[in-house]
Every structure is written in structure tokens, then in C-alpha cells.
Amino acid sequence: MTHAVVIGAGPAGLMAAETLGAAGHRVTLCDAKPSVGRKFLMAGKSGLNLTKDEPETPFLEAFAEARGKLAPILSAFDTQAVWRWAEGLGQEVFTGSTGRVFPKAMKASPLLRAWLGRLDELGVTIRTRRDWQGWRNGELAFLTPEGTETLTPDVTVLALGGASWRRLGSTGAWAAILQEQGIPIAPFAPANAGVAINWSGHMARHFGAPIKGVSWSAGPHVSRGEASLSVRGLEGGGIYSVSRGVREGHDLFLDLLPDLPVPEVTARLARPRGKASLSNHMRKVLTLTPAQIALVQEMARPLPEGLRATARLLKALPIRHEGLRPMDEAISTAGGVPFGALDGNLMLRDLPGVFVAGEMLDWEAPTGGYLISACLATGRWAGQKAADWSRDRSGPTGLGGT
């Protein structure tokens, strides 16, 4: 029986292990942490967004310049396939009002438990506390509590994640290992990240407040998602979706009233306000929240003179910030293994028998179902192609061996 080793037990690695196991391979799944799926569990704390239920074209467009390379992979394991897969694990799913697909249980833990049960039924061996060190004399070397351990698989799938959330296992340390083997690596950068803001003291009472029903923009990137005020700045899906634009140097703007044109906002501001302050007037005629008004005052003090100028400001409020939060706080990272270093099977051209999946690949997608969906799809693709590649071959692989 062919022996396959999968390194990294996030969603991409778990899916690769499942696919290889279902194809009849003896699979060993290794992870550096004491337990598997740590980032997956963290992502599901506020609701596990598995995928996005929308037409193929806008779905693929979310992956920007990587969409051409990912298109066949995502088509092979699309939204409906993710849906069927989750329900096959006994996890009923539903589509929210924005098209995001969640398990009805919302959390990731029930799905992960069922998934691990399936892997156990397939005979997958899971080894934790196995920190991959690269290759030693053609063998995979791992640092374990007992010392160095080596494995000699017939085929290997690398699914080690990106370079954010180090405490959950995504350290990016694998990049140096692959570079030693001549594999190019695109530099890591924060993706789906919050923005850092040095707030004035009067904003403290609004920390934790949501900013809803708005639109964020940074260059070509636009989002109608929600964000929240935090001690460190602005966080949440709305900001994460435009963080690439911020990273690339575009100014960040907030439209507090995306469904109202400037003339309508001006007309509402022109309504009699009596002795009410401008803040209370805006709250009444525009239904702005105290947190939204405080944000306007924080970013534009003093307010411009004239109702039309104020309306324009509310429609395009410049957000002054200190850049993105540090990469280790980002939900994901851009950069990684370029598609040019891989063939269409996600196998490294210079390391036959070694396949790559998940956030290790140099692609970037917003939250909202795209990120996890692509990790699942690339894990499944790499697992299938690894199984196909090894079918008629024998002997160890990993460092030029066949």
C-alpha cells in the first residue's frame, strides 16, 4: 500500500488526508501542535463560514489574479460540493442573507469531530507535536518531544498554512525549508487584517461598538461588511475585505450612508433642527449611531461648513490610520509558493512527488467563505493528484527521489 504523508492539519491538510485515505493510501497526517485544526477552530468561534453561495463568476473574481489558476480547482469542489461534504459529516448547513454558508451548529468543533471520525475510519494516522524540519538524506525529518523522527513516504502533501497566527501553528517557517531546495517564495504580507489607529481619549467609550450598514473602500476594493471599533483600531469583515487596498497604499474611505446619494443626505440635513446639536440632528435625520458620529468627529474635526460639504464627508469619510495591524494578527497572508513553481496538479516542479495546498499557495481571498472554501478545494485537489501520481510509482519521494 502506498504511503502518503500530509504535513499540516488545517482544513487543507485534513482534506488532503481524507482524499488520499479514500483513494486507498496509507496516510500519516503530521502537525507541529498538540492538537489539529487550531486555526480552523478559531475561525469558527463566531460562526464557521464554509463557503459562499453565489454564481461562479463573482465567486472566482474574489480571488483576483489567482482566479485563472484556481478556477478548475474551485469548480471541482464548488459551493454545492462543500455543502454535500459537510452534510455527509452530519452537519446540516444553511445560507445566510448575504450568501454565506454556515453549519447550523455554527461552531467548527462539531464538524471537526465528525471529520476526525471519518479520518479514523479511513485509517489515517494522526501524529501531533511533529515539527517539520525539512528533508534529511531524502527523508522527511520531524522534531518531536522524543527527538528527531523521519518518515519515507511515497508521496507528500504540504499544507502548512501561511505566516499569521503563529500561536495556532501558521508560522511560515516552511518557506526557508523550500528556499533551501531552490523553490521561490513570494514574500509574505498581511491579508484580511485590521487597520491600526491611534485613537484620542474620547473614543474609548465606543470600543467594541459595531459600525454597520456602511461601505468601506480602498482603491478598487469595496466592501459593505461590518467592522468594529477596538482599542487597536478597526477590525471585522468589512475592513478585512479592503485591507489589500490599504496594504497597496490606497486611501481608506467610509461611506456611512451607501444607499443614499449626496443630494438626499443634503436634503435630510437641511430639515429644521431647532436647538438640537448637529450630532443629535444627524442621529435623528440620518439614523447614525453614537459610534458612527464619534468616528466622524474623530476623523474630521472640525466638520466642514455647509450642508452639502457635510453630506459629501459622510459619503466619503477619510479614515486616518497607521497602516495594517501586524502580520501575526492577520486572518491570513498573501505570498507563498508561486503557481509558476507548480504544475497543474499543484506538484512542485523541482520536487516530484511533493504537492502543496491551502494558504501555502500564493493566492489571496477575502473572508466571507472564500478563504476556507479554497483551502478545502486545494487540499482535495492536491490529495487527488498525489494519489494519481503515486498510483503507478514506487519508492520514496520528497527530495528528488522517485
Q: What is the mean pLDDT of the chain?
A: 95
Same domain, 359 and 305: no
pLDDT of residue 400: 43
**Same domain as 224, residue 140:** no
Phi, psi of 78 (to 5 degrees): -85, -170
- Name the one residue in this structure whose C-alpha cell is 501524529: 127
- 98 lies in some domain: yes
Dump pLDDT digits (tens) for 47-66: 899 999 999 999 999 999 99
pLDDT surpassing 70 at residue 104 = yes
When mean pLDDT is compared across 42-46, 133-137, 355-359, the lowest value belongs to 42-46
Which pLDDT tens digit goes with each residue over 157-204? 999 999 998 899 999 999 999 999 999 999 999 999 999 999 999 999
pTM above 0.75, yes or no: yes
Identify the pLDDT of residue 46: 75
Rounded average pLDDT over 339-350: 98
**148-157 tens-digit pLDDT:** 999 999 999 9
Answer yes or no: do 245 and 232 share one domain: yes
Taking the C-alpha atoms of residue 201 and residue 176, their distance in angstroms, rounded to an integer, is: 43
Q: Is residue 292 part of a domain?
A: yes
- pLDDT over 60 at 395, yes or no: no
Is 38 in the same domain as 159? Answer: yes
Mean pLDDT score, 331-336: 96
Tally Cβ neighbours within 10 Å of residue 173.
15
pLDDT in tens, 278-310: 999 999 999 999 999 999 999 998 889 899 999
Neighbour count for residue 344 (Cβ, 10 Å): 11
Residue that finishes a domain, picked among 318, 351, 369:
318
46 in the same domain as 127: yes
- Please tell me the total count of domains within the chain: 2
Q: Does residue 399 sit within a domain? A: no
Phi, psi of 277 (to 5 degrees): -70, 165
Q: Is the pLDDT of residue 257 over 70?
A: yes
The reply to whether 164 and 261 lie within a common domain is: no
Residue 347 is assigned to a structural domain of this protein: yes
Q: Which domain holds residue 213?
A: 195-318
Same domain, 127 and 222: no
Helices and strands (DSSP H and E) totals, the chain: 14, 21
Say if CB 244 and CB 334 are below 8 A apart: yes
Task: Let me know whether 373 and 342 are in one domain.
Answer: yes
Q: What values do phi and psi take at 63, rounded to 5? A: -95, 10
* pLDDT of 98 over the 80 cut: yes
For residue 207, is it within any domain?
A: yes
Q: State the pLDDT at residue 397.
A: 54
| Three cell numbers, residue 14 | 485534513
Which CATH number does the domain housing residue 136 bear?
3.50.50.60
Assess whether 183 and 38 both reside in one domain: yes
Residue 401 has what pLDDT?
42
Determine, yes or no, domain membership for 400: no
Whether residue 402 lies inside any domain: the answer is: no
Which three cell numbers, joined as nine digits, stand for 286?
440620518
Residues 332, 359: contact at Cβ < 8 Å?
A: yes
Domain-terminating residue out of 292, 318, 344: 318
132-139 own/partner pairs: CB under 8 Å, 24+ apart: 132/7, 132/30, 132/32, 132/160, 132/174, 132/177, 133/177, 134/177, 134/180, 135/181, 135/398, 135/399, 138/396, 138/398, 138/399, 138/400, 138/401, 139/396, 139/398
Residues 90 and 175 in one domain: yes
Is there a domain that residue 324 lies in? no
Residues 40 and 186 in one domain: yes
Q: Residues 93, 152: one domain? A: yes
Neighbours of 65 (CB within 10 A): 10
Integer CA distances (angstroms), 169 to 65, 130, 155, 210, 358, in order: 27, 11, 23, 30, 14
Check pLDDT > 90 for residue 371: yes
Which residues, in sequence order, are bridge partners of residue 230? 233
- Boundary-marking domain end, from 285, 318, 351: 318
